[in-house]
A and B are shown apart, each in its own frame.
Chain A
Amino acid sequence: MVSFDVVAEAGEARRGQLQINDRTLETPHLFPVINFYGGGNEGALFGGGVHRTIKEFLAHDNEVTGGEDYSDLFNGVMTSISSLADYGIREKKLEWYLDNEIREWECFSDYDGMIFADSGGYKILKQGGLEGEDFEKDIDQDKALDIQLDLGPDIVVNLDHPIHPDDEFEERIEKMEQTAVNAARFAERRDEVDGACYLTVHGYYEAMLERSFDLIEDELAEPVPEAFDGIALGSLVPRKDNVEVLVEAVSDCKREMQQRGYEDLPLHVLGISGNAMPLLVAVGADTFDSASYLHQAINGKYCVNLFETVPIDDANFDACECRVCNDDFHRARMRNEMDDLYQKDILGSVAAHNLAVQQRELRKFRQLIAEGDKERVAEYLEEAVKDQKGFRKFAYQLINERINPYFEETDTTYA
C-alpha cells in the first residue's frame, strides 16, 4: 500500500507524508546514498571504507556511533544497483549478495527506514551493464528490476536513459523513447513490487519535459497515476551547479505534472542535494537523493552549512548544533586524536555530520511549511542565501516571483 498525503503547503512548497506499507516518511526528505554492498562480508557490513562506517551508523554499531542513536539521519536511504559491482567482485559474490534482501541480513535487520532502489541508469548505460571481476551482465529493464527487487526495496524506479545537456536533438529523443519503453515494461510488472513504483522523466525545461511525458504516456497501457506512485526527475546531475537550470527544471516538471493531473504524486529529484534543495522544495520538490555528504567527507570537507565547506582541520565543532559535533567521542575522531583510527573512522564521523547538516535544513523547512506561512518561508530562504552572492540573485528572483513579491504594486505611499 502506497499513499502520499500533503499535510501542509506554503506557496508551492509542501510538506507530506509518504506511506509505503507500514513505513512513513516525512517530506521534504533527503535520501542519503548508501552502498550496502562494498565487496566485503557480512561481519564487516559488506565493507566499503567510509561507506562501511556510514553503514555502522545506520546499523547502530556502538563502537562507531559512540552509543548514540543516529537512525533519524537514515529514515529513508537510496541505493543503486550499479553500486553492486563498484568493488570488482566475482559473480558468485554478487549472487550471494542478492540471495537475501537487505533487511534479511542479520546486520541490517534493525534498519527500519525506507530503501529506495535506483536502477542506476546513468552508470549502467555508460558502462554498458554491470561488470565485475569475472562477469559482465547486460542490463535491461527486466534484469534491472530483478536486481532491484532482490534488495527488498520500498521504492523502485524504472531503468532510465538519462539525457545530457549537450545531446543532439535526435539523440535526446532516442533516449527518451528508450526510457518510455522501459517505463511501460516496468509498469507491466508492477504487481511484483511490494512498494512504490516511481517513473523517471527527463528534461531541463517545459518543452523537453512535455515531450518526455508524452512519449511515456504513448507507451503506457494505463494512465500514469495508475501505474506509478511517484515521479523521479533525472538528468540534472550535470547541471547540479547551475541553480537557475535546476529551479526551472523542477518547477516546469511540477507544472507539467499539474497539467496532466499528476500533482498528487510525490516528486523526487534524482542526484541533487545541498544548496539547491531549499529552492527546489520551494517550487514543489518532495524528496532528493545524493551522495554528496560522503564525497565531501572523502575529500576532507566539513560542511558549515548548505553552502560552505571548510577543510576538516579548520572546522569549528562548537559552532555546529548537530549531535555528531556535540559528542566528544566524534570530536576526538574528527580531530584524529584517538589511537589506531582508520581514515574511514575520521571521515565517517565527518560524513555523518555533513548529512546531519542537510537533514537539519530540511527538518527546519518541514516545520516552516507546516506553519503554512509563505512569508516565513521567504524569510528563511533569504537568510539562508544572504552571503551567497551569485546564488542570492536566483533565490531572490524565486522569492520575488513565486513566494512573496519584494515590492508590491500598491507599495507606493511614502512614510
Chain B
Amino acid sequence: MHKTPQVNEVNEFIEIASDFEDPLEVIREALSNSYDAGATQVDISIEQDAEGRNTLIIKDDGHGMDEDDLSSFFDLGNSNKDDAIGYKGHGTKIYYKSDKIRVETVTDGTRIESVMDQPWAKLNNRELPTYSIEETESDEPSRTRIEVHGFRAGQGFDPRQLTYNKIEHYIKWKTIGGSTAWHFGDDFHEMDINVELSPTIDDTQDQIETDNRLQFPPENRHPEGEFVAEEMCKHYPPRELTVTLDDGRELTIEVVGMVGGKEARNKLPTYGKHSAQFGIWLAKDHIKVERYNDAIGADNEFFHFFFIANCQDLELSANREKIRNKSGDVYQAITDELNRYMTKVCQDSWYRNYIERRKLENKQRSIQSQGSSLEERLQHTKDQGGLSPSNPAEVIAALERYSANGSPETLEIADFRLDEEVNAIVDTDEGYKNAALQAKLSDFFENETPLTHIDRFICWKLGDRDALTKIERTSYLGKPIRFDFSNNEVTYGDENKKTIPVLELADKV
C-alpha cells in the first residue's frame, strides 16, 4: 500500500505568507508580476487610514488575467509562468496577510472582479479563505488592478517608515525596478513605474517616477581640477562571462558595473547606510540578492565599486533574500569567475589611476591642513616671543643655544630616545651622564618615573612649583624628596641621599 503525505493547506499558506515581513515585499511581487504580464506602465499607491492600516493599490496595463490565471494568483504552488520572476507560485500569497484582497482584471474582452475577504483572519482560524468571481464583458484594453487592504507587516515594522526615499531605494535595489537586464538586451521591455504615498505617510515630495532600469551616474573619467577624485566615475560595460563546470554544464554570468568616487556614488538611488549598498552584488533575474565583496580582494576597498553579476543558476530562498545553493559547485564556479573578472577591473589602468589620484588628493588635503597647523604654530611661537619648548626635542634645541651662548660647562647630547624614561645621555665635563629632558620638570614627577638612573635634569622650565612642593611634602615613590630651587637641585632618598642637579634653560637662553 502506498500513502501520499498529506499537506495541511492552511498551515502551508500561513507559513508562506509569514515568510514576508515587509510591506515593501508586496511592491516587489507586484512589480515582477506586472512585468511578467508585459506591462509598460505600473502605478502603485499606498494609502493609510486613520488607524494606520495600509491599503496598497497596484494598477498595470499588462495582459490581464483570465479565470485560470486568477486561480494561480490565489492558489499555492502552480504558477503559470515559465522562466519568469515568480517562483513556485508563492509570490502572490504575500497578499494573504491582509484584511481583504480585491482584483479587477480585463483580458480578451472579459472583465473579472474577484474579492477575498479576511484571508489572514480565516487562515488563523484554520479555515481556507475563498474568493468570489464576477465576470462581465468589456471592450476595455487589458489591465489589472489589485487592492490589498490592511496588510500585516512583520513585528517591529512601523508603517511610518514608509517614506519615498526608502521606497525608491527599495525599488532600485531589491526589485525589477533596479534591473540590469536592459544592458543585456534579450527579452527586456521597458516599464514605467509610479509610486504615490498618501500624505499621512510621507508628504515631503511628489510621487516616484522611475522605470525598470538601473542607471549608473554619468561617466566622468578625467575631470579637471585640483580635487576631482570624488567626481571620477567609469562604467564597466556589460560582459558575459561563461564558465564550464566539470560535468560540462555551461554557466553564464552577466556583469556590469561602475567604479566611482563619493560624489558619483551619491547619484545612485541609495538610502541609509551607504556602506551596505556598494560592492559586488550577485543577482538573479537581474535583481540584486547578496553581496560578494570578496571578489575585490583585500588590497581594494569595496566601496569604490558597484557591480552587479547576474546568474540564473543561482538559487534563492523563498523570500528571495538569500542565495540557497552556496555550498554547491555552481556557486563556487560563479564566484571563482567573478574573482577573476574583478581582478581585471582592479588592474584596469583607469581604476589604478583613480586610486592613485585619490591617494594624492588625500595627501594634498593633509598638506593643506598641515599648512594651517604650521601657521598656528608660527603664531604661537611669535606670541611666546621665540623659543618655548613644549617637548623634549625642543629642549634639545634650547640646550644647543645655551651651549653656543658660552655656557659655563660643556653639555652636549650624545644620545636621545624620545620614548624612554631616561631619554638622553649627555656628554659633560665630568663624562657621560644619564639625563631626563623635560619641557617642564613637574611633568616628570607627574609620571612617577623612578629616579634611580638619573644623573641630571634638563628642562625648559621647572613648571608647576606648587605641584613639586606638594610632592616634597608627602614623599616620592615612598622616599623623602626635596626641590632646592635656589641651588637648582633635587635631593632624594633617606640614608643614601642622591643629589641631582637641575638645569633650567628658560632664563639662560
Q: Taking CB as reference atom, which chain B residue is nearest A386?
A: B340
Residues from 279 to 306 in B contacting A, C-beta threshold 8 Å: 297, 299
Given the interface pairs A405-B349, A412-B235, A412-B237, the reply to whether A400 lies near B344 with Cβ below 8 Å is yes
With beta carbons under 8 angstroms apart, the residue of B184, B235, B348 that contacts A406 is B348
Interface string of A239-263 (1 = CB under 8 A from B): 0000000000000000000000000
B185 contacts the other chain (Cβ, under 8 Å)?
yes
Interface string of B348-366 (1 = CB under 8 A from A): 1110000000000000000
Contact A406 B347 (CB under 8 A): yes
Residues from 303 to 326 in B contacting A, C-beta threshold 8 Å: none
With beta carbons under 8 angstroms apart, the residue of A393, A407, A413, A414 that contacts B348 is A407
CB distance from A227 to the nearest CB of B (A): 40
Contact B346 A393 (CB under 8 A): yes
Question: Complex formed: what's the CA distance from A393 to B352 in Å?
Answer: 13
With beta carbons under 8 angstroms apart, the residue of A392, A393, A401 that contacts B349 is A401
Residues from 148 to 187 in B contacting A, C-beta threshold 8 Å: 183-185
Q: Taking CB as reference atom, which chain B residue is nearest A406?
A: B344
Contact B237 A392 (CB under 8 A): no
B-side contacts of A127, CB under 8 Å = none
A-side contacts of B344, CB under 8 Å = 396, 400, 406-407
Question: Complex formed: what's the CA distance from A412 to B221 in Å?
Answer: 11
Question: Complex formed: what's the CA distance from A412 to B339 in Å?
Answer: 22
Residues from 219 to 257 in B contacting A, C-beta threshold 8 Å: 219, 221, 235-238
Contact A412 B219 (CB under 8 A): yes
Residues from 329 to 378 in B contacting A, C-beta threshold 8 Å: 336, 339-340, 343-350
Contact A415 B183 (CB under 8 A): yes
Contact B184 A400 (CB under 8 A): no
Residues from 84 to 140 in A contacting B, C-beta threshold 8 Å: none
A-side contacts of B348, CB under 8 Å = 400, 405-407
Q: Taking CB as reference atom, which chain B residue is nearest A407?
A: B348
Question: Complex formed: what's the CA distance from A400 to B183 in Å?
Answer: 24
Given the interface pairs A386-B340, A393-B297, the reply to whether A413 lies near B237 with Cβ below 8 Å is yes
B-side contacts of A387, CB under 8 Å = 336
With beta carbons under 8 angstroms apart, the residue of A396, A407, A412 that contacts B343 is A396
A-side contacts of B336, CB under 8 Å = 387
Q: Taking CB as reference atom, which chain A residue is nearest B222?
A: A409
Contact B238 A415 (CB under 8 A): yes
Determine the interface band of chain A, counting residues with CB < 8 A from chain B. 10 to 19
Question: Complex formed: what's the CA distance from A413 to B256 in Å?
Answer: 12
Q: Taking CB as reference atom, which chain B residue is nearest A389?
A: B339
Q: Taking CB as reference atom, which chain A residue is nearest B350?
A: A407
Interface string of A356-398 (1 = CB under 8 A from B): 0000000000000000000000000000001101001100110
Question: Complex formed: what's the CA distance from A362 to B83 in Å?
Answer: 47
Contact B238 A396 (CB under 8 A): no
Contact A392 B340 (CB under 8 A): yes
Question: Complex formed: what's the CA distance from A407 to B340 in Å?
Answer: 14
A170 contacts the other chain (Cβ, under 8 Å)?
no
Interface string of A306-336 (1 = CB under 8 A from B): 0000000000000000000000000000000
Contact A414 B238 (CB under 8 A): yes
With beta carbons under 8 angstroms apart, the residue of B221, B238, B340, B349 that contacts A400 is B349
B-side contacts of A413, CB under 8 Å = 237
Question: Complex formed: what's the CA distance from A387 to B345 in Å?
Answer: 17
Question: Complex formed: what's the CA distance from A399 to B236 in Å?
Answer: 18
Question: Complex formed: what's the CA distance from A405 to B236 in Å?
Answer: 13
A340 contacts the other chain (Cβ, under 8 Å)?
no
Question: Complex formed: what's the CA distance from A400 to B345 in Å?
Answer: 10
Q: Which of B219, B221, B235 has the most chain A CB atoms inside 10 A of its CB? A: B235
Q: Taking CB as reference atom, which chain B residue is nearest A396?
A: B347
A167 contacts the other chain (Cβ, under 8 Å)?
no
Interface SS majority for chain A: loop
Q: Taking CB as reference atom, which chain A residue is nearest B240?
A: A415
A226 contacts the other chain (Cβ, under 8 Å)?
no
CB distance from B307 to the nearest CB of A (A): 13
Contact B347 A393 (CB under 8 A): yes
B-side contacts of A407, CB under 8 Å = 236-237, 344-345, 348, 350
Contact A392 B183 (CB under 8 A): no
A166 contacts the other chain (Cβ, under 8 Å)?
no
A411 contacts the other chain (Cβ, under 8 Å)?
yes
Q: Taking CB as reference atom, which chain B residue is nearest A393?
A: B343
Interface string of A247-287 (1 = CB under 8 A from B): 00000000000000000000000000000000000000000
Q: Taking CB as reference atom, which chain B residue is nearest A414?
A: B183
A-side contacts of B221, CB under 8 Å = 409
CB distance from B472 to the nearest CB of A (A): 53
Contact B185 A415 (CB under 8 A): yes
B-side contacts of A400, CB under 8 Å = 344, 347-349
Contact B343 A392 (CB under 8 A): yes
Q: Taking CB as reference atom, which chain B residue is nearest A413?
A: B237
B-side contacts of A412, CB under 8 Å = 219, 235, 237
Question: Complex formed: what's the CA distance from A393 to B235 in Å?
Answer: 21
B-side contacts of A405, CB under 8 Å = 348-349
Contact A414 B237 (CB under 8 A): yes
Contact A411 B237 (CB under 8 A): yes
Interface string of A56-84 (1 = CB under 8 A from B): 00000000000000000000000000000
Q: Which of B184, B219, B340, B346 has the most chain A CB atoms inside 10 A of its CB? A: B340
Question: Complex formed: what's the CA distance from A401 to B336 in Å?
Answer: 23
B-side contacts of A386, CB under 8 Å = 340
Question: Complex formed: what's the CA distance from A409 to B299 in Å?
Answer: 24
A-side contacts of B235, CB under 8 Å = 412
B-side contacts of A396, CB under 8 Å = 343-344, 347
B-side contacts of A393, CB under 8 Å = 297, 299, 343, 346-347
A-side contacts of B297, CB under 8 Å = 393
CB distance from B493 to the nearest CB of A (A): 48
Question: Complex formed: what's the CA distance from A401 to B347 in Å?
Answer: 8
A-side contacts of B347, CB under 8 Å = 393, 396-397, 399-401, 406
A-side contacts of B346, CB under 8 Å = 393
CB distance from A162 to the nearest CB of B (A): 31
B-side contacts of A399, CB under 8 Å = 347
A-side contacts of B238, CB under 8 Å = 414-415
Residues from 170 to 214 in B contacting A, C-beta threshold 8 Å: 183-185
Q: Taking CB as reference atom, which chain A residue is nearest B346?
A: A393
Question: Complex formed: what's the CA distance from A389 to B346 in Å?
Answer: 13
Contact A415 B343 (CB under 8 A): no
A-side contacts of B350, CB under 8 Å = 407, 409
B-side contacts of A414, CB under 8 Å = 183, 237-238
CB distance from B476 to the nearest CB of A (A): 48
Question: Complex formed: what's the CA distance from A83 to B340 in Å?
Answer: 43
Question: Complex formed: what's the CA distance from A287 to B208 in Å?
Answer: 65
A-side contacts of B340, CB under 8 Å = 386, 392
CB distance from B165 to the nearest CB of A (A): 28
Given contact pairs A393-B346, A406-B347, A414-B237, enumerate 10 new A-B contacts (beta carbons under 8 Å).
A389-B339, A393-B347, A396-B343, A400-B347, A400-B348, A401-B349, A413-B237, A414-B183, A415-B185, A415-B238
Could you list 30 A-B pairs, sorted by A, with CB under 8 Å?
A: A386-B340, A389-B339, A392-B340, A393-B297, A393-B343, A393-B346, A396-B343, A396-B344, A397-B347, A399-B347, A400-B344, A400-B349, A401-B349, A405-B348, A405-B349, A406-B344, A406-B345, A407-B236, A407-B344, A407-B345, A407-B348, A409-B221, A411-B237, A412-B219, A412-B235, A412-B237, A413-B237, A414-B183, A415-B185, A415-B237
Q: Which residues of A line the B interface, CB within 8 A?
A: 386-387, 389, 392-393, 396-397, 399-401, 405-407, 409, 411-415
The 3 closest A-B pairs by CB, nearest first: A397-B347, A396-B347, A406-B344
